[in-house]
Structure 1
Amino acid sequence: MATFAAASFGAALSAAHEAAAGQHYPQATLYVVATPIGNLADITLRALHVLQMVDAVACEDTRHTQSLLRAYGIDRPNGQLLAVHQHNEAEAAQTVVARLAQGERIAYVSDAGTPGVSDPGARLVAAVRAAGQRVLPLPGASSVTTLIGAAGLVAGAGDDGSAFVFTGFLPTKAGERDAAVKTLAFETRAVVLLEAPHRIESVARALAVLGDRRITVGRELTKQFEEIVTVQASALPDWFAAGKDRTRGEFALVLHPMTVAVDDGAEGERVLRLLLEELPVKSAVRLAAEITGAPRNALYDTALRLRNSDEPND
């Protein structure tokens, strides 16, 4: 959530008008606007212009958004702020659709970052598009891409580590969370997670089972006390326990891609045997190839041989 420190954005508003006012802003359009994840100066000029121009601003929290707008010198009556959050999104979306049908321009912002990414907004966008009305995105800050860019993702030979999966928040219940982490153990690509301060230590303990897999932690990204560190998963609980401030703030985490070594055949067969106990042949072969780097065709032949050898004789 952005921190509304005292600052003057008068020059920024003027620059926003000069840079963006001449562009086309269609009516009957929902403008999906990214807002800062911590540092107010990360707002874009086009976002400032649109937030001044639209007929109304739909938002996750009207009080938070009013404070954000006023920090930029934008003063809107409370009646021009529409609450659209996870508890009323489906119903509130119909209000937005009705206003768009009257030709209004409406911006949507979440509390921080890009709407619809682990924040409300996706259902609103879906409803607007289903009604045949236009959605126009204004890109900007995102904790996901911010941390990915600072993590230095490097995988095995021939792989630049650039592929990643966005998982967001892990389940809150311990059993479901542990099961999700076991699934991550077989994911060869980087994985981006988000977490709140009151759950981060529990998540760290759950991730510790991933052993020497590296994890980059981003805490309070773009804010004054921003901290970015990379540790092995097994050391994650101790890292958080080493300082009381380390569990404060909002968190993004990147599970680094699995380092894939070239397999000599024996390891591929060992992993394949384990997977075949739980999975169909095709799924077991695919995962074994990703985990060990062994050729998929060779693993498939091995899987058929193992399955045939397990069949009872007549």
Structure 2
Amino acid sequence: MPSNSPTDKSLPPGLYVVTTPIGNMADITLRALKVLAEVDLVAAEDTRHTRRLLAHHHIDRPLVSYHEHNEIERTATLIQQLEAGTAIALVSDAGTPTVSDPGYRLVQAAAERGLPIFPVPGVSAAITALSVSGLPTDQFTFVGFPSRKKNRRAEQLADLARLSHTLIFYQSPQRLQAFLDELIETLGDRPAVLGREMTKLHEEFIRGTLSDIIRALDRKGTIKGECTLLVAGAGAAEPLGEEEIDAAIHQAVEDRRAPLSDIARDLAARFNVNRKRIYDQALHYRKALDKK
């Protein structure tokens, strides 16, 4: 078992970025346990959550909160302690700190001052889901949580639509189904995998197209737990001819009363063609429809 005796401490001072389990408490490395047992202080996203993890592994260390609401002021205090020769572990509630979690400011400030920073790697929800997805793993884009602002999110998805490799998203269960609808509208009904409650008792993977996942979630009703969504990249299809692209523009203008700038952005990303060319043609069709 890790020892909490001060006489057994052998860690040099510095910031230790320690990865913790995403669900199953056994998914933690021996090195992470050793570091957590020997640091002077643990900076945790939620001290209650981290205290349960430490207690499970028979570790008792001082804890201080470090989360998105206090990270600016708390960073200054922790930097002072690091400069004084303290060994501090940075942990988030699950997985790797700073990856879609608080901690970036502290790591950045420590790096700017030339303070020692030690990575203590382990589990990541993104890589965990990717490893069992069955989707291509040679290249992927980790998006994390998409923007909560609808217009910004639409821009993000339009930019991602042309990428040919696997896309990895984090999303809350409350926003998941609406987000799936947006993905289909912008990316098309692609193959995808939803990982939910990974490594926990109710772990589940839903595979199929994006619309298959929507139907599966509809049958479930209430959605609970952390969700990681992987979506296949754009296929290497033969380029469309001018007539086919024009037909798609005409259909989009007829079907959607969206601003022409939105239609141009989405179709330009889908077909990988000039946005102005799409906009000009869409404007022509819109004027023709308005005259009817």
TM-score after normalising by structure 2: 0.78
The residue type equivalent to 2:143 in the other structure is T
State the partner residue of 1:149: 131
Correspondence for 1:60 among 42, 45, 48: 45
The residue type equivalent to 1:143 in the other structure is A
Runs of 4+ in 1 over 6 A off after TM superposition: none
Give the CA deviation at 1:82. Answer: 1.6
Matched-pair identity in %: 40
State yes or no: 1:225 paired with 2:207: no
Q: Point out where structure 1 has 5 or more consecutive residues left out of the alignment.
A: 1-9, 15-20, 155-160, 279-285, 293-298, 304-314
Give the CA deviation at 1:212. Answer: 2.7
Moved more, 251-260 or 184-193: 184-193
Give the CA deviation at 1:116. Answer: 0.5
State yes or no: 1:86 paired with 2:68: yes
Distance 1:100 1:63, change over 3 A: same
- In 2, distance between residues paired with 1:188 and 1:110? 32
Distance 1:133 1:268, change over 3 A: farther
State yes or no: 1:167 paired with 2:149: no
Q: Point out where structure 2 has 5 or more consecutive residues left out of the alignment.
A: 250-259, 262-267, 278-292
- Verify the 8 A CA contact 1:32 1:115 in the aligned structure 2: yes
**Aligned residues, how many?**
257
Correspondence for 2:241 among 255, 266, 273: 266
- In 1, distance between residues paired with 2:242 and 2:98? 41
Distance 1:203 1:189, change over 3 A: same
- In 2, distance between residues paired with 1:232 and 1:100? 49
Give the CA deviation at 1:267. Answer: 6.7
Summarize the alignment of residues 236-275 of structure 1 with structure 2, pairs less than 5 Å apart: 236-244=213-221, 247-263=223-239, 266=241, 270=245
State the partner residue of 1:30: 15
- In 1, distance between residues paired with 2:194 and 2:36? 32
State the partner residue of 1:296: none
The residue type equivalent to 2:12 in the other structure is P
- In 2, distance between residues paired with 1:267 and 1:261? 15
Give the CA deviation at 1:216. Answer: 0.8
Summarize the alignment of residues 13-52 of structure 1 with structure 2, pairs less than 5 Å apart: 13=2, 25-27=11-13, 29-52=14-37
Give the CA deviation at 1:182. Answer: 3.3
Correspondence for 1:132 among 114, 118, 136: 114
- Verify the 8 A CA contact 2:49 2:93 in the aligned structure 1: yes
The residue type equivalent to 1:258 in the other structure is A
The residue type equivalent to 2:237 in the other structure is A
- In 1, distance between residues paired with 2:103 and 2:139? 25
- Verify the 8 A CA contact 2:161 2:269 in the aligned structure 1: no
- In 1, distance between residues paired with 2:243 and 2:19? 45
- Verify the 8 A CA contact 2:159 2:269 in the aligned structure 1: no
State yes or no: 1:200 paired with 2:176: yes
- Verify the 8 A CA contact 2:194 2:213 in the aligned structure 1: no
- In 2, distance between residues paired with 1:55 and 1:42? 23
- Verify the 8 A CA contact 2:206 2:213 in the aligned structure 1: no
Give the CA deviation at 1:262. Answer: 4.4
TM-score after normalising by structure 1: 0.73
Say which SS state the counterpart of residue 85 (structure 2) adopts.
Answer: coil
Deviations 1:10-63 (A, max 9, x none): 5xx48xxxxxx99x7322x10000000001111000000000000000111111
- Verify the 8 A CA contact 2:207 2:213 in the aligned structure 1: no
State the partner residue of 2:257: none
Deviations 1:131-187 (A, max 9, x none): 210110000011011011111224xxxxxx521111111222444434433333222
Distance 1:238 1:102, change over 3 A: same
State yes or no: 1:106 paired with 2:66: no
State the partner residue of 2:102: 120
Aligned-CA RMSD value: 3.2
